[in-house]
Structure 1
Amino acid sequence: MTVQHLAALGSSFAAGPGIQPLEDRVAGRSRRNYPHLLAERLGARLTDLTVSGATTATILDTPQRILLRRYPPQLAGLPVDADLVTLTAGGNDLGYISGMTTAAWGSWFRTHAQAGVRARLGNRRSSPQQAPAMPTEADVERAAAGLVRIVDAVRRRAPRAEVVLVDYLTVLGPSTVPSEQAPFATAAIAAFRATGERLAEAFATASERTGAQLVQVSALSIEHAVGSAEPWANGFSVGFGSPTPFHPNADGMRAVADAVVGHLGL
């Protein structure tokens, strides 16, 4: 297979927010995300349409607004001569990383607020962190159906294109434990990890229904989660210039590009 024109669709796990240099700061799109690295490896032209925060709907037919910018549906920009299209989306349909980020900030604020209370009033027992709600079967089916609709639409617009579904890097793995980088109770870590597994199921379902190729980086990265010796995703941190929490880091993006190249045998 010779790839001349690569097009990339997807959300932040493809766009690469916080990885310098940025191509589009508002979209959180890096010049060193896996689509750019993949295009370099293949010697192909690249049309990178990824936007952080994208859902399957904003890829298909719904404009996406970020601050004062309006991004048209990503499929509207898909070149008809693309011969390889990568797709990483669906996590925002399930509230996956946004839920994790919200919970982490909530934990951080509770910890610091309670520290102030304890300093003034003496030790008080902190309230337990609640485990996040799990996506329902219907939620997972909607995400899978959205991926299927995107694959079908890509094939109509770019009929020569090989479509490759690339699922999400594992963020919280089996060995991830409560820490500053993962400021969650054990039950919450388990729930977020289970949501990641359900997202991987949505990708597998979409691949089965469409025949699109699937690169399961969720499985490849299981030993590279937050808290591991060589993480491919950022943990939680606070401060100016801190990496984007719970998103791929530069090593993770390189690993994804390598996985796609290896899968395609190129």
Structure 2
Amino acid sequence: MSRALFGRVATAVAALVAAAVVVLPGSASVPSAAESTTVQTAAQRQPETALSSAAAPQKYVALGSSYAAGPGGLDSIGNRCLRTMDNYPHQVAQAMNMSLVDATCSGATTENILDRPQRFVKQPQIDAVTPGTALVTITTGGNDIGYVQRLIAMGCKNSVADPVKNIAERVCGHGRPISPEPGFERYAAVEQKMIETVFAVRMRAPAARIVLVDYPPVVVAGGPICPKLALTPEEIESTIRVYDALAQVTAEAAQISGAELVTTGPLGAEHTVCSPDPWLRGFELPVPYHPNASGKAGVARLIVDALRR
């Protein structure tokens, strides 16, 4: 997103915030076991902080889409949201000695977090947040603008390359249309929804630390490329533009709403798909262009480091 376009997004969102109708807290019931995962960690030997002490574990709620849910791991919880036991919420909860309610769900948009449940769950994710919640992490926005969907569609189009042909047969079906790059309106809308999400969390849990966590990059300008990336040079440039714009609106949403921000981009740039130690899969099974075990652990470390500062 250009500086001029990003400035228009920030101006538009700031105006919307002034008149925003924040989602009011209803019955703050925690989703059922079929919809979320609750994990209470054992006490850990670590420096005492506001979020880690010898007292009973505090409540941590994780909200977000597949980059938080962590599909494709070996420790699948066995739910339709494709959450895994090694996703970053579980690792953060373990490190911080917190009781986790994992409401993340693959495919979720900001609307699914705020007010419109996905078809196979009963409640929006926000309902997991209750007054006693001490920490909330949020990773969202990618599905609103079709970020990974575009990547997979481009990988499918380029699937004639031998290294990815078998993968394409399993994930592409009869082909996927490639959507155009998102425009100003879509970026402004997703930024506004992120801000509303933070406000809704704060209404339900006024004392909670609220942390927006952005997406690690698949590819960066001047970075390594390889067959498993499965993108043309033009598609690489487009992917970088969309990624950069999403990271920018996430940062702006954090600034406007007062949430904390954990940005994965600087360190993630050293762990792109074609790097020696990638944090994400390329056009590969089981879930293309999503965090692998190394990526989940890397993002968790960034969050824990931020919480302990």
* Same topology, TM > 0.5: yes
| 1:79 aligned partner | 130
Residue 247 (structure 1) aligned with residue 290 (structure 2): yes
Matched, 1:185 2:232: yes
- Percent identity at matched positions? 36
| 1:81, distance to aligned residue in structure 2 (A) | 1.2
Q: Residue 183 of structure 1: CA displacement?
A: 1.1
Q: Look up the match of 1:20.
A: 74
Deviation for aligned residue 1:219: 2.3
Are 1:256 and 2:263 an aligned pair? no
Q: CA 1:40–1:254 in structure 2 vs 1: closer, same or farther (change >3 Å)? A: same
Q: 1:178 to 1:230 in 2, by over 3 A?
A: closer
SS of 1:153 mapped into structure 2: helix
Contact 2:153/2:178 (CA < 8 Å) preserved in 1? no
Note if 1:33 corresponds to 2:87: yes
Name 1:146's counterpart in structure 2: 193
| Contact 1:172/1:225 (<8 A) preserved | yes
Contact residue 170 and residue 219 of structure 1 kept, 8 A: no
Deviation for aligned residue 1:13: 0.5
Q: State the Cα RMSD in Å.
A: 1.9
Q: Superposition pairs for residues 61-80 of structure 1, below 5 Å?
A: 61-65=115-119, 69-80=120-131
2:103 counterpart of 1:49? yes
Contact 1:175 1:228 in 2 (8 A): no
Unaligned runs of 5+ in 2: 1-49, 53-57, 166-176
Residues 233, 137 of structure 1: alpha-carbon distance in 2 compared, 3 angstrom cutoff? same
**In structure 1, what is the equivalent of residue 141 of structure 2?**
90
Partners of 1:131 and 1:191 within 8 A in 2 = no
* Residues 178, 185 of structure 1: alpha-carbon distance in 2 compared, 3 angstrom cutoff: farther
Residue of structure 2 in register with 1:122 after alignment: none
Normalised by the length of structure 1, the TM-score is 0.86
Secondary structure in 2 matching 1:9: strand
Note if 1:101 corresponds to 2:144. no
Q: What CA distance in whole angstroms lies between the structure 2 residues aligned with 1:142 and 1:7?
A: 24
Q: What is the alpha-carbon distance in structure 1 between the residues aligned to residue 302 and residue 153 of structure 2?
A: 30
Distance in 1 of aligned mates of 2:125 and 2:87: 17
How many residues are treated as equivalent by the alignment?
Answer: 242
Residue number in structure 1 paired with 2:51: 2
Cα distance change on mapping 1:131 and 1:172 into 2, 3 Å: farther
**Structure 1 unaligned blocks of 5 or more:** 116-129
Q: Secondary structure of 2:143's match? A: coil
Post-superposition offset of 1:105: 1.4
Aligned match of 1:136: 183
SS of residue paired to 1:30: coil
| TM-score (normalised: structure 2) | 0.74
Query: Would the alpha carbon gap of residues 24 and 199 (structure 1) be closer, same or farther in structure 2, given more than 3 Å must change?
Result: farther
Q: What secondary structure, in the 3-state scheme, does the structure 2 residue paired with 1:245 have? A: coil
